[in-house]
Copies of this chain bind each other. A is one copy, B any other.
C-alpha cells in the first residue's frame, strides 16, 4: 500500500557537497521526520501517527540512522509503558532552514505546476 517512488540519492560525494547531505535527508520520510521534530521533541508513536502510512520498520531505521549521524537524540523515559523521545540535536537544528527552503520551493512548484517560463538569463 502506498507505493513510494524510489530514487538513488548518492552521487559520488566528491563532485559537490550535495551528496554528503543528501545522504542524510535522502531516505524516504527523512525530511518529514526532521520537519516534525522541528516543532519539538516527539515520541515514536507520535511520529508514526504524524507520518500516517509509514511503516514501523522504516521509521525505526530512519531514526536510528539520524541518531547515529548526530542529527537527532534518543532518550528513553522510564515510564510504564516505556516511551522514547526523539529530538533534534543542535546539528539537526541546522537542517531545519534547509528543509524550510525546500518546502518553500515546494509550494511554488505545486502552484506553478510546470509553467516553465524560460530563464531570465
Interface residues of A (CB under 8 A from B): 2, 4-12, 15-32, 35-36, 41, 50-54, 67-73, 87-95, 97-99, 101-110, 112-121
Tell me whether B16 and A103 are in contact (CB under 8 A): yes
Given contacts A69-B109, A105-B95, A119-B73, contact A31 B4 (CB under 8 A): no
CA distance A43 to B87 in the complex (A): 44
Given contacts A10-B28, A116-B73, A117-B89, contact A20 B50 (CB under 8 A): no
Tell me whether B4 and A11 are in contact (CB under 8 A): yes
CA distance A112 to B90 in the complex (A): 12
CA distance A40 to B63 in the complex (A): 38
Given contacts A17-B106, A107-B20, contact A114 B68 (CB under 8 A): yes
Given contacts A7-B9, A73-B116, A114-B68, contact A15 B50 (CB under 8 A): yes
Q: Find the B residue at minimum CB distance from A29.
A: B11
CA distance A32 to B45 in the complex (A): 35
